[in-house]
């Protein structure tokens, strides 16, 4: 029995995507939470909490995009053709946000608000468009003769737009968990007050999407609610409920790591549910990962490089978080 190279690359792309959501999600969430914190010193602290690691987090986005283009060129071509506009807007949002990281601390006080707005708008725009992309992929793409035949604005529909809003809520929740873990005192107390309503809103979003997808797509309903699949997938909603309960119970007396870990589990389970819904299609609703894969020779050649570079990225990521571990205070910071 030979090695299933398309499956290996599909798993690498899923892994890269989840790593990006987990790691860049909380620092995008910092920008989303920025308008709720009015004090400049609190905003300095929020930005300093992610300044040493934010650019490294985006490595996973680059890896996932490159892997998709090399391993599944058909999927890459269809997705870029169908989602060129939201993907371009997403990149512009990430650029604005990245520039704001560097310029905010160097700006004069009267100009600092400009970079605050760039940081906020870049974070929200990048997050919202990422959510729209996810929603559009779940909805599927019309493909004929290996070519996208839909319109340039098919992504501008209720379900992708709602997914965009949902991801803004999800990243804000991750940002709350990160700030609870990294800060203390006044700022941490403010975040605790936001944590509970955000958790309830996230639960509402997950519930709506969980109902919307099977109602709109018969194949997804059959996958989730037929036996024995129902028994295999029941841990997903149970873990969503358990992690939500942990978040709702969080307060100043709990472990400062619990909200972040519970938020990570909640978001991970939410995206796992979406992944289960479309598997094994990489271009829903009809084209599977095997059909969209590059030739085996290309996949094998790329895999050699991936097995070399992915451990390096993991070691670098671990080391950067280890070096900048612990609480951050107003007296110290990256800038």
Average pLDDT, the chain: 84
Cβ atoms 198, 173 nearer than 8 A: yes
Cβ atoms 266, 195 nearer than 8 A: no
pLDDT of residue 132: 92
Residue 333 has pLDDT above 70, yes or no: no
Cβ count near 117 (within 10 Å): 14
What pLDDT digit, counting tens, does each position of 127-178 carry? 999 999 988 988 888 888 888 888 888 889 899 999 999 999 999 999 998 8
Q: Count Cβ neighbours within 10 Å for each residue of 135-167 and write b for 16 or more, e otherwise.
A: bbbbbbbebeeeebebeeebbeeebbbbbbbbb
Residue 89 has pLDDT above 90, yes or no: yes
What pLDDT digit, counting tens, does each position of 6-18 carry? 889 888 888 888 8
pLDDT of residue 334: 52
pLDDT of residue 36: 86
Residue spans per domain, the chain: 5-184+283-324
User: Among 31-40, 86-95, 103-112, which range has the highest average pLDDT?
Assistant: 86-95
pLDDT of residue 125: 93
Question: Whose CA is closest to 169, among 99, 96, 115, 247?
Answer: 247
- Prediction pTM value: 0.90
For 18, phi then psi, to 5°, come to -65, -40
Residue with tokens 């985006």: 58
For 229, phi then psi, to 5°, come to -55, -40
Residue 57 has pLDDT above 60, yes or no: yes
Cα-Cα-Cα-Cα torsion 218, 221, 223, 229, nearest 10 degrees, comes to -160
């Amino acid at each position: 029995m030979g090695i299933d190279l398309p499956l290996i690359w599909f798993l690498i792309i899923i892994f890269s995507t989840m790593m990006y959501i987990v790691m860049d999600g909380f620092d995008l969430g910092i920008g989303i939470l920025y308008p709720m914190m009015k004090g400049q010193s609190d905003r300095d602290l929020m930005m300093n909490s992610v300044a040493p690691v934010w650019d490294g987090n985006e490595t996973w986005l680059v890896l996932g995009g490159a892997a998709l283009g090399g391993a599944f060129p058909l999927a890459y071509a269809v997705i870029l053709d169908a989602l060129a506009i939201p993907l371009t807007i997403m990149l512009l949002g990430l650029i604005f946000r990245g520039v704001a990281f560097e310029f905010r601390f160097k700006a004069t006080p009267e100009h600092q608000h400009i970079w605050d707005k760039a940081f906020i708008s870049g974070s929200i725009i990048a997050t919202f468009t990422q959510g729209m992309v996810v929603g559009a992929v779940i909805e599927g793409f019309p493909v004929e003769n290996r070519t996208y035949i839909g319109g340039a604005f098919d992504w501008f529909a209720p379900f992708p737009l709602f997914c965009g809003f949902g991801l803004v809520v999800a990243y804000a929740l991750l940002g709350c968990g990160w700030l609870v873990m990294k800060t203390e005192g006044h700022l941490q107390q403010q975040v605790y007050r936001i944590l509970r309503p955000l958790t309830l809103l996230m639960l509402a979003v997950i519930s709506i999407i969980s109902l919307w997808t099977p109602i709109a797509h018969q194949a997804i309903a059959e996958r989730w609610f037929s036996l024995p699949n129902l028994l295999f997938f029941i841990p997903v909603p149970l873990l969503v409920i358990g992690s939500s309960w942990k978040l709702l119970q969080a307060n100043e007396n709990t472990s400062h790591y619990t909200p972040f870990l519970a938020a990570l589990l909640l978001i991970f389970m939410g995206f796992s549910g979406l992944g289960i819904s479309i598997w094994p299609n990489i271009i829903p609703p009809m084209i599977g990962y095997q059909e969209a894969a590059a030739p085996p020779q290309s996949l094998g050649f790329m895999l050699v490089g991936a097995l070399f570079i992915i451990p390096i990225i993991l070691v670098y990521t671990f080391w950067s978080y280890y070096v900048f571990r612990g609480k951050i205070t107003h007296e110290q910071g990256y800038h």
